[in-house]
Amino acid sequence: MAGTPYRINYFINIRHLRAKCVCPLFLCVTVVLFILHQYTISSGYFTAMKKCTLPPGETLLPQDHIDNSLDLWSRWDVQTCTSWRAPIMWNEMFEKAIYDQYHVEKDTSVALTVFAVGRYLEVYLKEFLTSAERHFMVGLPVDYYIFTDAPHNVPTVQLAPGRTLRAIPVKRYERWQDISMMRMKAITEAIDNLISTRNQYVFCMDVDQVFVGPFGSEALGDSVALLHAYFYKSSVTEYTYDRNPKSVAYMNDGDYYYHAAVFGGTWQNVRNITESCHRGIKTDKVNDVEALWHDESHLNKYFWLHKPSKVLSPEYLWASEIGFSYEIHVRRMIWAEKHYGVLRD
């Protein structure tokens, strides 16, 4: 073929040219990554995370507890267990099917409580519920308990079989801080009157967030806390604990900073959490004190004194404005866009 030698020379030249281009490009990328690595270490923004100190082959819990199926050493880049041997849940550590089968066999039912008061109902509730139907505890019975000052405005959402929704009337307070703090009392009463007879587990969540990935049965546990996305790499001195000694929520030391937007556990443990936080809030009010971050400050104090049995990583509630973080392999829920100027007026 007349054109064959030309084509061979052409491809040889192209390959040679690509090799010349690729090598400098590889070197450039390597240098940039090295500079970024050095910057993130020196800047302190990406601090080195602790690691699980449990020796390989040793189980977290005695006997055949479901959490012993976790592969704590599948993630070298993050801390996968606490000093008190509670798992910190990250993607790739668990087999979803193992947890789902376990809870189906146990006939597990989950309550999800959420407050939608004032404009929060119209702005956030429908998307919260529709996204929960796609991603929250799929395959398990779920009862939604919507605490609201406008039960007649709760949106209609198509629910999967075995899932229900109930609106619970609550008083609307003038200040959003009071709404936030008084939810602890309302949840305690709902557990006593409704949840304890229907559901083994409870999750309590804020309404201004959206499920974007599977939030499944692996998250269930006796008592469950969530690492705050903004503080999971910070030192204790940077945690925004309430450091006022006059408050019941006062803390000068702690393990982690937990986000009150998500917490849960068995109904018995969640009742202990909400009742204790409500009691602390009431004591502060008598003493004319208000904790720095309201119910979240009291929640952190509770989990400092009563260690959670399971900790959820920031994958379970990520703030997109933080940007890229190499250890976040999947986002299960994200903060919705905040409109505090309007919503908290």
Domains plus CATH for the chain? 107-342 (3.90.550.10)
**What pLDDT score was predicted for residue 13?**
47
206 is in an annotated binding site: yes
- pLDDT range class, residue 32, cuts 50, 70, 90: very low
- The stretch 1-9 carries a mean pLDDT of 40
Residue 339 has what pLDDT? 67
**Cα 257 from Cα 78, distance rounded (Å):** 16
d(CA 138, CA 152): 27
Q: Has 296 been labeled as part of a binding site? A: yes
Q: What distance in Å separates the CA atoms of residue 135 and residue 210, rounded to the nearest whole number?
A: 10
Predicted TM-score of the model (pTM): 0.84
Sign of CA dihedral 311, 113, 116, 280: negative
Q: Binding site annotation covers 116? A: yes
- Name the band, by pLDDT with cuts 50, 70 and 90, for residue 111: very high
Q: Got the DSSP string for 248-288?
A: TTB-S--S--B-TTEEEEEHHHHHHHHHHHHHHHHHHHHTT
Percent of the chain scoring above 90 in pLDDT: 75
| 177 band by pLDDT with thresholds 50, 70 and 90 | low
Instruction: State the average pLDDT over residues 179-186.
Output: 80
pLDDT band for 171, please (50, 70, 90 cuts): confident
pLDDT at 203: 98
What is the per-residue pLDDT for 56?
Answer: 81
Winning range, highest mean pLDDT, from 12-16, 289-293, 314-318: 314-318
Percent of the chain with pLDDT over 70: 81
Residue 172: which pLDDT band, with cuts at 50, 70 and 90? confident
Which two structure tokens, joined as six digits, stand for 127?
Answer: 């998307």
| Rounded mean pLDDT, 55-61 | 87
Pick the catalytic residue: 218, 275, 296, 315? 296
The answer to whether 295 touches 276, Cβ cutoff 8 Å, is no
Higher pLDDT, 343 or 296: 296
Is residue 96 over pLDDT 80?
yes
DSSP letter string over 131-171?
HHHHHBSTTS-EEEEEEES-GGGPPP-PPPTTEEEEEEE-P
- Cα dihedral 317, 320, 322, 326 sign: positive
Sheet holding 262-266, edge to edge: 88-89, 310-312, 223-226, 262-266, 201-205, 110-115, 142-148, 163-169
Residue 12 confidence (pLDDT): 39
Q: For residue 62, is pLDDT > 90?
A: no
53-57, 77-81, 242-246: least confidently modelled range: 53-57
Nearest Cα to Cα of residue 308 among 70, 55, 62, 87: 87
Q: Is 207 annotated as a binding residue?
A: yes
**Arithmetic mean of pLDDT, 304-326:** 96
Per DSSP, the three-state class of 98 is helix
Is 208 part of any known ligand binding site? yes
* 117 marked as binding residue: yes
* pLDDT score for 58: 87
Q: Which residue has the tokens 């400098």?
A: 24
Give residue 40's pLDDT band: very low, low, confident or very high (50, 70, 90): very low
Greatest mean pLDDT among 33-37, 40-44, 221-225 lies in 221-225
Tell me, what amino acid is at 157?
V
Mean pLDDT, rounded, of the chain: 87
Residue 296 annotated as catalytic: yes
Alpha-carbon gap, residue 100 to 104, rounded angstroms: 6
